[in-house]
Amino acid sequence: MAGPCTSGFWRWIVLVVMATTATVTGQECPIAGYVSVDGVCYKDFVEKKTYDAARQTCAADGGLLAMPKDNTANSAVYNLVGAGKRWIGLTDIDIEGQWLFEDGQTLASAGYNDWNIDEPNDAGGGEDCLEVDVDSRSWNDNNCGSGFGFVCQLVALRSRLTSDDAGMSHLSVSWATGILPISGYTLRYQPADGSGSPQDLSPAPGAGATSATVSGLLADTEYTLTLTSFGDEGQPNGVISGTFTTDPVVVNVQCTQDSMSLSIPRAALPAVNVEDLHLLDPDCGATEDEDEDVFEFQTHLQECGTLQETSGEDKVIFSNVVIANQVTYENGAVRNQPVNLPFQCEFLRQYGVSQGGDIMFNIPPPRVDVVHADNTFTLEMQIYTSTDFSTEYQSSEFPIKVKPSDRLNFGLSVASPLDNLELFARDCVSTPTTSPDHSTRVNIIDDGCQVDQTLQKDPALSNDKAQYYSVAAFTFPNALDSSLVYFHCTMIICFKDDPDSRCKQGCILPAARPRRAVSDGTEGRVRRESSRDQAVDITRGPFQVKQEAGAGPAVVPLGAAVGASVGVAGIMALLILAVVLVRKRQALENMKRDDNTAGMDNYAFQVWGKTDKTGAADTKT
């Protein structure tokens, strides 16, 4: 009897020990009051707070509101709370119906939910946060300003992936860490449309990293990046992800009276060699500028296979194509990226009496992209059909025909991922050609000061990144074609937090401008722009001014015309704005032209999207 009883007694002891061991498995939480459930540390807070206040309490502990992404985690929250209602980390504040966990993952991608019947219903149009009803063991959407208890969850990664910078071939992201220890990371990336297999960044971010850059990406492509953190024992303890897009390719095209030239950043063509690039005529190849890191082409309008097309009665379009074919090696391997990038220059053809033939006037498009350091700025100069600035003239409508009595409405703007920028119109001049340095010119804005008495700025629509103006048309004397007018502006992009920027100085009157001695013994102005400022010259046009029946010529405002001969009158409208990029300049001090002029070379531009699988380019206008 003693033997069997003893044996049973020891079996009972062993079972108790085994059961006790099973209930205490899991990590020890680094903050008192948190309970570890399946390796995740939770804490129930009974104090009622709004959703944002609850979120801040969790963040102070190095955590987030609880994020149950499967039935096990959801049951753990219910069991921890016991009764009542609690906030957990899910909202659709950004986009109605698209619920996101606090770490940025979508509820749909988690593949799990526990909504109550007929929930979420967004009752009253203001229920954007999720509370769990433990009594009914279900989820419900509620007003984020309501007061409930809440459940916090300690995490290794405390924020979503945030985009710090995007270029044509790279993406930079950052993140914030929580309280849990991190021994290392993996950062995985792949095209968001699934067209490419996932790859891991190598070398991976180190244990103390909070940012990383992925290079060698395709331009104008959306990528999904996923960051996974690992604990001391090598187990995953955090996952966050985000979707980001690389910048489009910027192709700068220069149009002159008899030639076209263009440059393409090497970053846009990562798998192409310079010797494989050519125009429609294979003998017209590319050169490589290693300092600027670009491929360059140049052709006369009648060479290198350039095509000529007539549009309407007076518009001529010259076009060509940048081509790169794949290369087949001796072993049969096919390499290199196929390229097919069309580009063009548009001209207005006018007959010049004194020249005895046609004169070609360039018609550039309405915007320009400037890549400066790690930032991309898109500058625009648009012409509008009315003073409400709601409808823009399209490039196909140029030259815009106006009367001397009309007002011309235009807007200047900058677009960038950076939020701390402001735009300043430093100089605006008008000339009868594409050159802002033409001897016959009219000053509209000079050193930030309004010179033309008819210029009006719309204060209601204008803001830090956009400015809207209206100006009256007027007569332009002594021009080869007095009916054609171009308008040129020098715009300054400044950082709002820079107290020394040119934007902060505003209008500088002539008497207040400091002077500097120049080589001819005269004095020139010295501007004190910040080295962080970015200057961009833009042009739009041409306008074609038609004389009104029975009306005499209008009059140039006194003091506005520069280099105009007295007594010779031709009609002009004041705003010919064809977008033209002179060149990238890191600071205004480096400008090669005279400091008193608002001139530029006649550069047009085009922006190209990524090349598709067949080698055809997605043209962006």
What CATH code is carried by the domain that includes residue 586? Answer: 2.60.40.4100
DSSP state of 397: G
pTM of the model: 0.55
Cis peptide before 205 (omega within 30 of 0): no
3-state secondary structure of 72: helix
Most confident of 3-7, 215-219, 296-300: 296-300
Residue 291 has pLDDT above 70, yes or no: yes
Are 400 and 461 contained in the same domain? Answer: yes
In the prediction, which pLDDT does 476 show? 64
How far is residue 319's CA from residue 301's CA, in Å, rounded to a whole number? Answer: 9
Residue 555 falls inside a structural domain: yes
Residue 334 has pLDDT above 80, yes or no: no
Are 480 and 571 contained in the same domain? Answer: yes
Q: What is the CATH number for 174?
A: 2.60.40.10
Alpha-carbon torsion angle 433, 540, 301, 317, nearest 10: -120
Are 455 and 572 contained in the same domain? Answer: yes
Are 313 and 370 contained in the same domain? Answer: no
Percentage with pLDDT > 90 across the chain: 40
In which domain, by residue range, is 222 found? 162-245
Residue 223's pLDDT band, with cuts at 50, 70 and 90, is very high
Q: Which of 217, 245, 273 is the last residue of a domain?
A: 245
In the prediction, which pLDDT does 360 show? 58
Quote the radius of gyration of the chain (alpha carbons, Å).
Answer: 33
Q: Are 298 and 261 in contact (CB under 8 A)?
A: yes
Residue 258 falls inside a structural domain: yes
Residue 236 vs residues 34, 174, 231, 243, 291: alpha-carbon distances, Å: 20, 19, 6, 21, 44
Are 253 and 240 contained in the same domain? Answer: no
> What b/e sequence results for 226-250 when a residue is b if at least 16 CB atoms lie within 10 Å of its CB, and e otherwise?
bbbbbbeeeeebbbbbbebebbbbb
Are 290 and 438 contained in the same domain? Answer: no
Mean pLDDT of 36-47: 91
Phi/psi at 68 (nearest 5 deg)? -75, 110
> What b/e sequence results for 263-292 when a residue is b if at least 16 CB atoms lie within 10 Å of its CB, and e otherwise?
bbbbbbbeebeeebbbbbeeebebeeeeee
Question: Which segment of 124-138, 334-348, 385-399, 417-431 scores lowest on mean pLDDT?
Answer: 334-348
Question: Which segment of 255-269, 305-319, 444-458, 599-613 scores lowest on mean pLDDT?
Answer: 599-613
Are 136 and 282 contained in the same domain? Answer: no
Q: Which of 122, 154, 186 is the last residue of a domain?
A: 154
> Residue 527 class from Cβ within 10 Å (0-12 exposed, 13-18 middle, 19+ buried)?
buried
Mean pLDDT of 575-603: 30
Residue 244 has pLDDT above 90, yes or no: yes
Residue 607's pLDDT band, with cuts at 50, 70 and 90, is very low
Residue 450 falls inside a structural domain: yes
Q: Which of 245, 260, 292 is the last residue of a domain?
A: 245
Residue 20 falls inside a structural domain: no
Are 390 and 514 contained in the same domain? Answer: yes
Are 393 and 519 contained in the same domain? Answer: yes
In the prediction, which pLDDT does 583 show? 30
Residue 619 falls inside a structural domain: no
Residue 612 falls inside a structural domain: no
In the prediction, which pLDDT does 53 show? 97
- Number of independent structural domains in the chain: 4
Are 240 and 263 contained in the same domain? Answer: no
Mean pLDDT of 261-273: 84
> Residue 334 class from Cβ within 10 Å (0-12 exposed, 13-18 middle, 19+ buried)?
exposed
Name the pairing type of β-strands 148-154 and 85-91: parallel
3-state secondary structure of 496: coil
Residue 620 falls inside a structural domain: no
How far is residue 602's CA from residue 364's CA, in Å, rounded to a whole number? Answer: 9
How far is residue 534's CA from residue 522's CA, in Å, rounded to a whole number? Answer: 28
Q: What is the CATH number for 111?
A: 3.10.100.10
Are 227 and 337 contained in the same domain? Answer: no
Question: pLDDT by residue (tens digit) across 410-469?
Answer: 899 998 878 889 999 999 988 887 778 888 888 899 999 999 999 999 999 999 999 999
Q: Select the more confidently predicted residue: 583 or 123.
A: 123
Q: 543 is written with which tokens?
A: 């306008």
How far is residue 266's CA from residue 245's CA, in Å, rounded to a whole number? Answer: 19
Percentage with pLDDT > 70 across the chain: 74
Are 67 and 192 contained in the same domain? Answer: no
Q: What is the CATH number for 337?
A: 2.60.40.3210
Residue 287 falls inside a structural domain: yes
